[in-house]
């Protein structure tokens, strides 16, 4: 028996279909209203808003001195990109990036402390703030002897400034926080933490000797010029170097801020540091043995060479003399004499005791300013 669809049945099906369509459309319209309200809501919170929200909900256990120090000093730690002119394969001159490091803003007028080796040889300096803004920087002065430099930027905004602490009050074992840009700007604002491992470490680099703070807070390439900070959020050192050797970990160094402050001031004002010199080449017992010389220096320094018209020459010191005292203190190494000389001023008259043959002779040497690009004693 065949089933046929009557007109009545067909009409009912059409009516049901229209009703279902209307109801479905009504649900769609109803659901669109809340959607339009969602679109008018404010945009997703900015990073700053998210940070403030996180700080508000942070427990006391999480809000450690390290967190507070990073929050206080981090905005004043900048990236420094060193660009220099090089020639390409076709002998064309190009300005290329030759390295990057870190710096610390320490003055509202845009003065930045960094390392000399970060800006050495630069034709152009680019300073990158933590918020991503960049400014062209000007090198006001450099000091290879302490590996310090001052860069200035002219910013169109109020700059965050780091607070300098007192590096003379440091205690071995207290927290140390390093802030900088390891391995370039990709990792800018990195924070590592450790302790003050030792104080007054002497590190010889070439002809220069540095007195540094030792820390196990990670200091990597790119951290140079960044801040070493105490638990109070004060800068107590300018990160400078690390020992990179197989099997050696956790040995980094920073220039004590108390030693850096007068140098930074002089660099900002004069562009260089005025230092006295003697004008002699010296040999101590350790170096003599290393070179294979069998000499009895009687606890002093052998004068190998004089620099014509230098302070020592004018003071009556001659080659083959042995310097045993400088400014009243015994000197048995070149490093000891360099340290004693560093405490003197240009124009100061200094007593120097020498051995000439078997005779002890006292001389008075008037110290003068070290000539530019001169690394003599």
Mean per-residue pLDDT pooled into runs of 10, the chain (377 residues):
46 45 38 36 52 71 86 91 76 73 92 90 86 88 88 89 93 93 76 91 62 86 87 92 58 90 92 87 83 81 87 91 91 85 88 90 90 57
pLDDT at 120: 86
Which tokens go with 106? 């320490």
Provide the b/e sequence for 57-68 (b: ≥16 CB within 10 Å).
eeeeeeeeebee
- How many of the other CB atoms lie within 10 Å of CB of 136? 10
- CA distances 361 to 66, 305, 311, 321, 323, Å, are 57, 19, 17, 10, 10
Q: Is the pTM of this model over 0.85?
A: no
The answer to whether 305 and 377 are in contact (CB under 8 A) is: no
Which tokens go with 117? 């080796």
pLDDT at 294: 77
pLDDT at 249: 63
pLDDT at 248: 58
- How many of the other CB atoms lie within 10 Å of CB of 360? 12
Which tokens go with 364? 């008075």
The answer to whether 369 and 341 are in contact (CB under 8 A) is: no
pLDDT at 186: 72
The answer to whether 279 and 312 are in contact (CB under 8 A) is: yes
pLDDT at 242: 58
Residue 111 φ then ψ, to 5°: -80, 135
pLDDT at 50: 67
- CA distances 341 to 208, 275, 337, 376, Å, are 13, 9, 6, 12
Just list the catalytic residues: 117, 147, 224
Residue 231 φ then ψ, to 5°: -70, -15
The answer to whether 100 and 124 are in contact (CB under 8 A) is: no
pLDDT at 76: 92
């Amino acid at each position: 028996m065949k089933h046929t669809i009557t007109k009545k049945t067909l009409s009912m099906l059409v009516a049901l279909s229209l009703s279902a369509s209307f109801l479905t459309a009504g649900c769609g319209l109803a659901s669109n209203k809340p959607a339009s309200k969602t679109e008018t809501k404010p945009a997703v919170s900015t990073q700053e808003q998210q940070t403030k929200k996180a700080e508000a909900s942070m427990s006391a256990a999480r809000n450690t001195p390290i967190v507070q120090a990073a929050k206080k000093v981090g905005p004043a730690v900048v990236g420094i990109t060193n660009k220099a002119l090089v020639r390409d394969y076709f002998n064309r001159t190009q300005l290329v990036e030759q390295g990057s490091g870190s710096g610390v803003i320490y003055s509202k007028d845009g003065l930045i402390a960094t390392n000399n080796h970060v800006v050495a040889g630069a034709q152009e300096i680019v300073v990158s703030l933590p918020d991503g803004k960049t400014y062209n920087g000007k090198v006001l002065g450099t000091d290879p002897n302490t590996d310090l430099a001052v860069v200035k930027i002219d910013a169109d905004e109020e700059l965050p400034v780091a607070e300098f602490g007192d590096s003379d009050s440091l205690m071995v074992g207290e927290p140390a926080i390093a802030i900088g840009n390891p391995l370039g700007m990709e990792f800018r604002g990195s924070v590592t933490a450790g302790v003050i491992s030792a104080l007054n470490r002497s590190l010889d680099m070439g002809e220069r000797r540095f007195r540094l703070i030792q820390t196990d807070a990670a200091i990597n390439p790119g951290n140079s010029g960044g801040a070493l900070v105490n638990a109070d959020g004060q800068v107590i050192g300018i990160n400078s170097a690390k020992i990179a050797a197989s099997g050696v970990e956790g040995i980094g160094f920073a220039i004590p801020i108390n030693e850096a402050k007068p140098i930074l001031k002089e660099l900002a004002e004069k562009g260089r540091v005025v230092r006295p010199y003697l004008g002699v080449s010296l040999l101590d017992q350790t170096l003599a043995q290393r070179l294979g010389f069998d000499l009895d220096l009687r606890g002093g320094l052998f004068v190998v060479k004089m620099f014509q018209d230098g302070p020592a020459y004018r003071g009556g010191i001659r080659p083959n003399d042995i310097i045993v005292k400088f400014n009243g203190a015994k000197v048995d190494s070149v490093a000891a004499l360099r340290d004693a000389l560093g405490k003197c001023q240009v124009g100061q008259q200094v007593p120097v005791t020498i051995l000439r043959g078997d005779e002890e002779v006292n001389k008075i040497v008037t110290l003068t300013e070290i000539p530019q690009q001169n690394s003599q004693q």
